[in-house]
A and B are shown apart, each in its own frame.
Chain A
C-alpha cells in the first residue's frame, strides 16, 4: 500500500481537511487500486464497529462497579444491560445465520411439498375439473362419452347451448378437439358451482413472519452468486366469472419454480416452470350445434423470464422489480407481466411477493381464444 492512500484513511477517520477532499475524489475516480483500498478500509472499519462483544460491557461488570462505589443500578444502565443481552443474541444469531437460514428454508420447502403431495379430500367430493388433458387426448375423452348421463352431469366440462343452427353443416369436432361430448337431447344447463375458492391450493399458507423473529440489526448480506432458485405459490383469479372449480388432482399445482441468472445489477433472466390453472371459456360446434365450453384444467407452463430491478428501487431491506415472461403449454401460448418485491432475510435467502397478470392464447376449431388471470405469487429465493 502506498503512502498516497493515507488520505483515504484520514477521510474515513473524519480527519481529512476539507480542502483535500477534492484530491481524494480525483484519486478515487482515476485509480482502481485506490477504490479497492477504500473498500478494504471501510470493510475493516465496519467489522470493528460490529464488535459488540468488545463494545458492550457485561451486566456483571456494571453491577460490580456500581456496587463497589455504593451506587444502586440506575435505570439507564439497566437499558444498557438489555442492549447487552440483545447484542449477545444478535452475535449468536449472526454466527448461526447459515444454519438458521437453512433450517427455515428446509422447513418451508418441506411443508410446501407436503401440502402439495397430500391427497385433497375435496377432490373426491366436489365437482372438479379432472379433465386436464381436455384438448390433447381425444381417445380418453370419447370413451367417457359412453358413461350414463347422471355421471355426465358431474363431468368436468360444462357446456351451454348458445345457438342452434338448423342449416349448418353437420360436423362434430369433438373427437378432434377433445371436448366431452354430450347427447344433445340430454343437454341441460347445469347448476353453476360458485364455490370458486374451495379448492384453491396455496403453497405457503403458514403465517410466518420471519423478519419479526430476528433483530433488525441483522442485515442480510449479498452473496457472490449470480444464479438463484425460486419456488413460489400462486393464487390467481380468472377474469371470467368462474363456474367450474379448478382441477386439483395434480401434485404441486399452483406452484412455480424458476432458475434465474443475474445478467447485471438490474437485469436478470431465467427459466420458469409453473403448474397452474387457467379458466377457459370457448366455443365450438358439435352436431351442428354451437356450444360454449367452460373448464378449469391444470397446465404445465414453461416460460422465459426477464426481470428488471432498477437501482433506484433498491433499498436496504429489499428491492422492487418488474418482470415479463413468455412461454407456452400444451394448448397454447402464455404471456405474463408482473411486479414484485424481494426482501432479503438471510445471506442468500429472500422472500418474494408479487402481483402478476397472465394471458393464455389457444385455438379451438380454427378459432383463437384467450384466458386471462391475475393474482399473487409468493415464495422464497435461494441463491445458489
Chain B
C-alpha cells in the first residue's frame, strides 16, 4: 500500500471508504493498521479469553466496515470501533458467564511467589480482581489509548467520572501489586 495513505486523516479515509470504490480496500487497510492494536488489546484484556477475543476482534472490524457508510459525517473511528467491540463483548458476557471468580482469581494471584512474576503478568491478574467499571476504564485508557472525554462518551459518563474511575482503578491495581511495587520503589 502506498505510504500516501499514512498521511491521510481518519476523516479522509472514511470518505474514501464511503465514496471511492477503487480506494475502499486501501483505505480500510490503513484504518486497520492504525487501530487494530488498540481494538485487539481491548478485546484481549476485557475478555481475558484469547479465542473469544479473536472472534470478537474480527467481528468488530467486519461490522465497522459494514456500518461505516451509514454513520454520520464526523465519525470518530477509534471511538466507533471500541464501541462496536464493547457492545459485542457485553453481549457475549450477557449470554455467557465468563471470567474467573474473584476469590479464585485472588488465590491464583497469591499462589505463586510474586517476585518471580513479571509485572505485566501481575497486572493482568490484578485486572481480573477489579470491578467491571474500573477495569473497563483502565483498559480503555491504557490499552485502547483513549482520552477521558472519549471514554466518557463510550461509557456514557462524565469526563470527570471517567478520570476518577481510572484513578481508582490504578489505585486498586497498585494496592494489589503493593508487595511488588514496594520492592520496585525501594531501588
Which residues of A pack against B, CB within 8 Å? 1, 6, 9-10, 13, 15, 35-36, 39-41, 43-45, 47-48, 50-51, 53-58, 60-62, 64-66, 68-69, 71-72, 74-77, 80, 94, 224
Q: A54 contacts which chain B residues (CB < 8 A)?
A: 40-41, 44-45, 143
- The CA-CA distance from A205 to B69 in the complex, in Å, is 65
Contacts beyond the supplied A40-B177, A50-B120, A65-B61: 17 A-B pairs with Cβ under 8 Å: A1-B175, A10-B163, A40-B185, A43-B119, A44-B173, A44-B174, A44-B177, A47-B120, A48-B123, A48-B142, A53-B44, A55-B41, A65-B58, A69-B65, A71-B25, A76-B1, A76-B33
Q: Is the CB of B54 within 8 A of A47?
A: no
| Chain B residue with Cβ nearest A224 | B187
Q: Is the CB of B37 within 8 A of A55?
A: yes
| Chain A residue with Cβ nearest B164 | A6
- The CA-CA distance from A225 to B167 in the complex, in Å, is 34
Q: B44 contacts which chain A residues (CB < 8 A)?
A: 53-54
From the candidates B30, B119, B141, B185, name the one contacting A13 in the complex (CB within 8 A): B141
From the candidates B54, B143, B171, name the one contacting A60 in the complex (CB within 8 A): B54
From the candidates B37, B54, B118, B173, name the one contacting A58 in the complex (CB within 8 A): B54
Task: Mark B30-54 against chain A: 1 for CB-CB distance below 8 A, else 0.
Answer: 1011001110110011000000001
| Chain A residue with Cβ nearest B121 | A47
Q: Is the CB of A9 within 8 A of B170?
A: yes
Is residue B134 contacting chain A, with contact meaning CB distance below 8 A? no
Q: Is the CB of B40 within 8 A of A69?
A: no
- The CA-CA distance from A199 to B34 in the complex, in Å, is 60
| Chain B residue with Cβ nearest A32 | B185
21 CB contacts below 8 A, A to B, read A1-B174, A6-B167, A9-B167, A36-B185, A39-B181, A43-B181, A44-B170, A44-B173, A44-B177, A53-B44, A54-B45, A55-B37, A55-B41, A57-B36, A58-B54, A61-B57, A64-B58, A65-B61, A65-B62, A66-B29, A80-B36
Q: Is the CB of B36 within 8 A of A40?
A: no
Q: Which of A53, A64, A72, A76 has the most CB of B within 10 A?
A: A76
A-B contacts at CB below 8 angstroms, number: 107
- The CA-CA distance from A13 to B30 in the complex, in Å, is 26
- The CA-CA distance from A342 to B95 in the complex, in Å, is 57
Is residue B26 contacting chain A, with contact meaning CB distance below 8 A? yes
Q: B123 contacts which chain A residues (CB < 8 A)?
A: 44, 47-48
- The CA-CA distance from A53 to B147 in the complex, in Å, is 23
Q: Is the CB of A55 within 8 A of B40?
A: yes
Task: Mark B156-187 against chain A: 1 for CB-CB distance below 8 A, else 0.
Answer: 00000001001100110111010001001101
Q: B28 contacts which chain A residues (CB < 8 A)?
A: 69, 71
Task: Mark B102-138 against chain A: 1 for CB-CB distance below 8 A, else 0.
Answer: 0000000000000000111001100000000000000
Q: Is the CB of A71 within 8 A of B40?
A: no
Q: Which of A51, A60, A80, A94 has the most CB of B within 10 A?
A: A51
Task: Mark B59-90 against chain A: 1 for CB-CB distance below 8 A, else 0.
Answer: 00110010000000000000000000000000
Shortest beta-carbon distance from B183 to chain A in Å: 8
- The CA-CA distance from A285 to B36 in the complex, in Å, is 86
Whether A56 touches B37, Cβ cut-off 8 Å, given contacts A48-B143, A61-B57, is yes
Shortest beta-carbon distance from B141 to chain A in Å: 7
